[in-house]
Structure 1
Amino acid sequence: MQRRAGLQALLAAAGLLLLPSRARAGSQIEEPLADSVRTALSAAIANTAPPVPEFTDTETRLAYLRWLGAMSDRLKGKKPDWPDRRDFLQTVWYESRRAGLDTALVLGLIQVESNFRRFAISRVGARGYMQVMPFWLRLIGDGDGDAGRLFRMQTNLRFGCVILRHYLDRERGDLYLALGRYNGSRGKPHYPNAVLAAQRKWLYSDAPAAR
C-alpha cells in the first residue's frame, strides 16, 4: 500500500513537471486599433529576419561582446546552457533595439513577467518570455492564430517589444503608464515599480550601438 502511494506521488510529481510553468503576471487588454496603427504594427511584426547584430565598426562590435559577456554572467543562474543563453540575449538585444527600447528595460520586464521561462503561461493565457496574449496573433499577425507560436523565442520577443513600443507611443512616452498598460493594470504602481526595479539589475554602462 505504501509502495503504491509512493508511486502515485512520484507520478503526480512527474506530471507536474510536464505542465507549462505558470506566470504570475497580468496581461494586455484587447482594445480596438485604428487601421493605420494595425497596419504599422503588422509591418513591424512581419520582418522575421534572423536577429543578427550588425555593427558600423570594430569598437561597437567589441562593446556588444562585452555587454554579452556581462549579461551572460548575470543570466547564468536562469539559463545555465551557454548557447541557449547567448541566443536569447542576442535576440533580446536585437529586438529591443529594433523597437527603440532600452534593452535593460526589456530584460527587467521579462524577469517580472516570466522569470526567463520560455514556456510560461499566465492564469489568463499570456504566453512565453514576455507574456504575450494570443489575441495579438489575430490583431497584427499573419493570420496564423496558433498560440503555440508565442513559445518561439524570436516570435515572442518580437511581439512583446512591438507591443511595448506601441503602448509607449500611445502613452506619449510615459513609461509608467505604458508598463501598466502592458500588464493590464494601467495606473496602478505595483507592476511598473517591479519592472523598473528589475531593470536596474540589467543596466550596463558600456552599451553598444548598432545599425
Structure 2
Amino acid sequence: MKLRVVVADDQALVRGGLCMILESQPDIDVVGEAEDGVQAVAVSVRERPDVVLMDVRMPNLDGIGATREICAATAAKVLVLTTFDLDEYVYEALLAGASGFLLKDMHRADLVAAVRTVAAGEALLAPTVTRRLIADVLRQRRAVAAPVSDRRLASLTPREEDILRQVARGLSNAEIAAELVVTEHTVKTHVSKVLAKLGLRDRVQAVVLAYESGLVRPGT
C-alpha cells in the first residue's frame, strides 16, 4: 500500500518540486496540495494522508495553526518545512503536534527518507535536524526560566526513564537496543509504555518533555 502524502506550501515552484520528487517514488502517492493553511486542513481532513509536509509561513492560516488543526482532527504525521533562521517557530510547532522538521535545502534522498521514517512511526528525524532545533530553542527558553519539573516522570520505572533519555538523544530503537544490550522489540515496547504513561503523541513530544524537565540537557 502506498504512503499518502499532502504537500502544503504557498510557493507553487517549491510545492511542485516537492510533489515531483515524492511522486517519483513507487511507494508514495501525493493525494493533495495546498497553498495556504486553510486548504491544508481541508485537504488533510478529506484525504486522510499518512504524512503532511507543512510550510510555516503561509497566508490565511500559518503552518503552526494548520498543524494544530490537522493533528487534532486526523492521525496524519506533520513534517514542518523550515530553515535554521526560523528557530522561533520550532517550539510552537512541537506543541501543535509536529512530528519532525525538514530543511528547505534538503537533498532529495533526505526528503523521501524522512517521509518514510515518519510514516513508519519513528516520528523523530535525524538528530542533526530535530534534536538540534529542540535543544537550541529550549536553551534559549531556559536562559530566562529554570527547568520545569513534571510529575508524570515519577510514573516511569528506572528502565523507562533510561529509555526516555536515549530517545531524547535522538537515537532510533535499533540504536537504543544496541546501547542497552536488549532486543529492538523490547525497546519498542518500552517506548510505547513511556508515551502512554506520559500522555504523549509521539517521540518528538517525549524529547521536548525530557529537555523541558531537565531530565536531559542540551549538549549532553
Which structure: greater strand fraction?
A: 2
Q: Select the structure of larger CA radius of gyration.
A: 1
State the TM-score, normalized to the length of structure 1.
0.28
Q: Could you state the TM-score of these two structures normalised by the residue count of structure 2?
A: 0.27
Greater RCO (Cα-Cα under 8 Å, separation 6 or more) = 1
